[in-house]
Structure 1
Amino acid sequence: MTVTVTPTLEPIGQVLTPEEYDALPENSLREFVDGVVHVMATPTYWHQQVAQELRAALKGLKPMDLRVTGELEIRLGDTLRRNPDVLVVAAAGLDRGACRVLPEHVELAVEIVSPGSESTDRQVKPHEYARAGIPHYWRVEIDPELVVHTFRLGDRGYVETGVFTSGDVVAAPGLSWARVKVDELTDEG
């Protein structure tokens, strides 16, 4: 019996033009940073659980003109694409075949901090999202305990508007509809 192994088509670490990147198949979770392809690590169970529960909570609260999703790419620039863990997007900015969204359609981007992504999620991505004009950013810390940090776009980047822990209800200025109980973001809540 012969087994054929098909090599991956993912150009990890390669420099691509925006057109080459856009032509890649849509079956991989990746980011495009300064023209270089970065494949994202598989999130831990806990990371996935918190993301899933947050998406479910926001879906139940959102206005009719917004959509809640995950794993959609934000096109922040020709050579910069990011995949937040949770996105709240204007329905007008999406179609059924969408795998990318423009930042002007994004109302909220959420990153869940994982080992290996700490500095990117805490420093780099908020700067990129703010520069793109995304009005709200939430950072969710999951270790050692669940903490939700909320930010709103100001004149010179994001301004922290709240820190929420167990027992709290997230209340972010400008997102009055998004009142999420922190304890409901776990399978234990």
Structure 2
Amino acid sequence: MSVAPKASTPTWPTPPEGGWTADDLDRLPNLPPHTELIDGSLVFVSPQTIFHERAIDFFKWQLQSLAPAEFEVFREFTIDIDRQNRPEPDVVVVRGNVVKEPDQTRFPAEAVLLAIEVVSDDSVSRDRETKPLKYARAKIPHYWRVESEKGRAAVHAFELEPTTGAYTSVGIFRERMKIDAPFPLDLDLTKIKTRHEQSE
């Protein structure tokens, strides 16, 4: 007589009925870094590319140096959209008055001026479809999607259209990004390169 094997205990978090909530993201133990909450489900990120890392660094520091004093710029920091959605933009510009405590882990969506996503192989549909829809519904005024074209950056910039509540394109930028909103910027996008290109 054979004995049925015992069911193994899963090593990953088992969601409660109705899915996880934004508050759960701070309470769940041993989550991988940069875990997001999308529609009540935990989303884990895959290892990132050099392009992804360099693009985030570029926009974080460029925007920090050019943003008006009342704004602050953060990389990979979650924002509260609603009870079941707490995404983590790659770069986010927020009103400085919401930056309060050293152990703070999130910002309210209404304080966000600009959200930037750098597209990875595993995030294409989220960054092109899911997240912009949610950011628009949360009334985040500006959204940029950064894509790699043969290792070079192409920035798809969007602005919230108040009458429709949807994003409208304000341009696709390669090599140079000169734009007046959310504040005046003139960025040399050719500086986002791989190490090999930088050494040439």
TM range (shorter): 0.7 to 0.9
Whole-Å separation in 2 of the counterparts to 1:62 and 1:8: 45
User: For 1:87-123, what per-residue CA distance to the aligned partner results, in whole angstroms no more than 9, with x for missing partners?
Assistant: 0111111123221011111000000111121111011
Alignment of 1:116-131 (within 5 A): 116-131=122-137
**Does the CA-based 8 Å contact 1:12-1:39 persist in structure 2?**
no
Alignment of 1:56-135 (within 5 A): 56-95=61-100, 96-135=102-141
Whole-Å separation in 2 of the counterparts to 1:41 and 1:158: 27
The number of aligned residues is: 181
CA shift, 1:61, in A, is 0.6
When residues 140 and 175 of structure 1 are mapped into structure 2, their CA distance, relative to the original with a 3 A threshold, is: same
- Give the 4+ runs in structure 1 shifted more than 6 A: none
C-alpha RMSD of matched pairs (Å): 2.4
Q: So what's the TM-score if we normalise by structure 2?
A: 0.81
User: For 1:126-167, what per-residue CA distance to the aligned partner results, in whole angstroms no more than 9, with x for missing partners?
Assistant: 11000000000001011333201111000320010011102x
Q: Which moved more, 1:73-82 or 1:33-42?
A: 33-42
What's the counterpart of residue 178 of structure 2? 170
Matched, 1:140 2:149: no
Corresponding letter in the other structure for 2:170: T
What's the counterpart of residue 11 of structure 1? 13
**Does the CA-based 8 Å contact 2:22-2:80 persist in structure 1?**
no
Corresponding letter in the other structure for 1:158: Y
Structure 1 unmatched ranges of 5 or more: 1-6
**Does the CA-based 8 Å contact 2:51-2:192 persist in structure 1?**
no
Q: What SS does the aligned partner of 2:183 have?
A: coil
Whole-Å separation in 1 of the counterparts to 2:44 and 2:107: 19
When residues 17 and 54 of structure 1 are mapped into structure 2, their CA distance, relative to the original with a 3 A threshold, is: closer
Matched, 1:23 2:27: yes
Identity %: 30
Whole-Å separation in 2 of the counterparts to 1:99 and 1:66: 17
Whole-Å separation in 2 of the counterparts to 1:13 and 1:40: 18
Larger Rg: 2
Structure 2 unmatched ranges of 5 or more: 1-8
Whole-Å separation in 1 of the counterparts to 2:11 and 2:146: 32
**Does the CA-based 8 Å contact 1:75-1:103 persist in structure 2?**
yes
